[in-house]
Structure 1
Amino acid sequence: MAAAQGFARAKDGTALAYQVAGSGPPLVLLAGQANDHHWWDGVREDFQAGHRTITVDYRGTGASDKPDDPCSTPGFADDVAAVLDELGIDSADVYGTSMGGRTAQWLAINDPGRVRRLVLGCTSPGGARAVERDAEVRRSLAQADPSAVGRTLLDLMYSPSFLAAHDAPRTVLGDRAMSAHARRHHLAASNGHDAWGRLGEIRSRTLVLHGADDRMTPAVNAELLAERIPEAEARVLPGLRHAYFIEGRPEVSELVVDFLAD
């Protein structure tokens, strides 16, 4: 089922593109840093039989406006809330991965009645308590050669065996049409995330998912989140990396569907 696109207005007037597909209770799917809704291509279909799936192009990506202004994960959460307001949705399930998980934390903290069930994937609490990627990964991602960075991202997203056996989806490697200023703002937003001191305020029932072999965001962050969020459950998935939700499909999608239905 093709997604229908619409637009909402953020508090500052920025036009925010969103996509809706499927039917049933609303489920918001939030992508990683510097990515648009295509991050979820081939996965959102797993939820559409039982949910009205909603994706958002972050400001600076996809069909949304691209202002040259600073961004933050609380600001992205406000943008998601603006989309939900536009759609007339008072409460939704939210599944955020990577930077989308950071954004989802703030949505659940700042507007607790709006998030029924919360799924946080391959993400971290941010701040001094988070465990960051190692220096080798940081150096590899900072290379000047875009092709080399692309190869690094593929290795961080998928296991070698998966890459050898599949034409691994490139939809998680970033929005190629992003401007340089938008990429800088997204990086600063993700790096600046720190919800540690307020995670205890989350009242949504929460499932934390993480690939055990994730070097982009080390898996120990899943346990930190689960310990900090009241009654959260963590599942660390053997053999999977940052794009665990693609490589581990359909089993991972079934985990999420079961959690949302419980």
Structure 2
Amino acid sequence: MSAHSTATIEGVPYATTDGGVKLSYQVRGDGPALVLLQGQANDHRWWDPVRDDFASAHLTITFDWRGTGDSDKPDEPYTTRGFAADVVAVLDALGVDRAHVYGTSMGGRVAQWLAADHPGRVGALVLGCSSPGGAHGFERSDDVRRSLAQRDRAAAERALLDLMYTPAWLAAHPGPHRTTGDPGMPAYARRRHLAASAGHDAWDALPAIGAPTLVVHGTDDVFNPAANAPLLAGRIPGAGLRLIEGARHAYFEEFREVASPMVLEFLAAGPL
């Protein structure tokens, strides 16, 4: 295990990578370690609405991706594989040899590399609303892309929320929402995150994943098309697949009463 340091700045704990990047992390709960990995351009607050579901049974570990939250924001290329190395730096700083991993959206892409490149560090693996990327993955439609690229930022924000949640849920939960990006991110860091997620391609590495794996996806997810779920499950040896009927991209929040127990049950059976 590499020696990565841990320290605090103004009371905020952080790990330092081999390259000197400081990564802010958060720990809550008690029990077997569980790393929670959020989506692109989001900090750890992505998990706030559901974190207690997992902290009641696990030592939950989150961190702010480089470029987000209280972590450093170097203006240099980011990759999902590099983000996986950052996860290892956080685990090393905490003295955690092995942890379960639950990654959603881009966090699921990072989790794929974590399990492939660092198999000894991963117990059970959950990949939520994710994709293998590259030429084999299913990309969002041009209509979805255009809706997110509108110059009217309020309209683009509404389009994003519509991709994350059902209209009925949004009507009952007006926000604030934790899944639409870190508002404090510099523009260059947002572009770096977008490039990292778009450049993800773990197809060739997936068959080497040996961790018990569960793939979870909402059937109505068009932000990261649901067709990616059976691709991942079929490519990773022995992986299970669970689809949540009617759910969009943020299935883990809107459908938490289904999703959280499903994931907890899977993790309880996984070796650590």
With structure 1 as the length reference, what TM-score do the two structures score? Answer: 0.97
**Does 2:100 align with 1:93?**
yes
Distance in 1 (alpha carbons) for counterparts of 2:155 and 2:18? 38
Q: Indicate the larger mover: 49-58 or 168-177.
A: 168-177
Kindly state the Cα deviation for residue 165 of structure 1 after the two structures are TM-superposed: 2.5
| SS of equivalent to 2:93 | helix
Distance in 1 (alpha carbons) for counterparts of 2:120 and 2:34? 15
1:39 corresponds to: 46
After superposition, the C-alpha distances for 1:89-146 in whole angstroms (9 at most, x for unaligned) are: 1100000000000000000000101100000000100010100000000011112222
1:109 corresponds to: 116
After superposition, the C-alpha distances for 1:172-202 in whole angstroms (9 at most, x for unaligned) are: 0000000011000000000000000110010
1:80 corresponds to: 87
Distance in 1 (alpha carbons) for counterparts of 2:151 and 2:193? 18
Kindly state the Cα deviation for residue 251 of structure 1 after the two structures are TM-superposed: 1.8
Distance in 2 (alpha carbons) for counterparts of 1:17 and 1:171? 18
Kindly state the Cα deviation for residue 166 of structure 1 after the two structures are TM-superposed: 2.5
| SS of equivalent to 1:250 | helix
**Does 2:239 align with 1:232?**
yes
**Does 2:151 align with 1:132?**
no
| SS of equivalent to 1:18 | strand
How many equivalent pairs are there? 259
Aligned pair in 2 of structure 1 residues 235, 168: CA closer, same or farther (>3 Å)?
A: farther
2:163 corresponds to: 156
- Counterpart pick for 1:197 among 194, 197, 204: 204
Distance in 2 (alpha carbons) for counterparts of 1:250 and 1:93? 21
2:25 corresponds to: 18
| SS of equivalent to 1:224 | helix
| SS of equivalent to 2:241 | strand
Distance in 2 (alpha carbons) for counterparts of 1:173 and 1:32? 9
Kindly state the Cα deviation for residue 169 of structure 1 after the two structures are TM-superposed: 4.8
Distance in 1 (alpha carbons) for counterparts of 2:12 and 2:73? 17
Mapping 1:59-70, distance limit 5 Å: 59-70=66-77
**What is the root-mean-square deviation of aligned Cα atoms in Å?**
1.0
Letter in 2 for 1:77: A
Aligned pair in 2 of structure 1 residues 168, 236: CA closer, same or farther (>3 Å)?
A: farther
Letter in 1 for 2:230: E
**Does 2:251 align with 1:244?**
yes
Kindly state the Cα deviation for residue 5 of structure 1 after the two structures are TM-superposed: 4.6
Q: Indicate the larger mover: 183-192 or 154-163.
A: 154-163
Kindly state the Cα deviation for residue 6 of structure 1 after the two structures are TM-superposed: 1.4
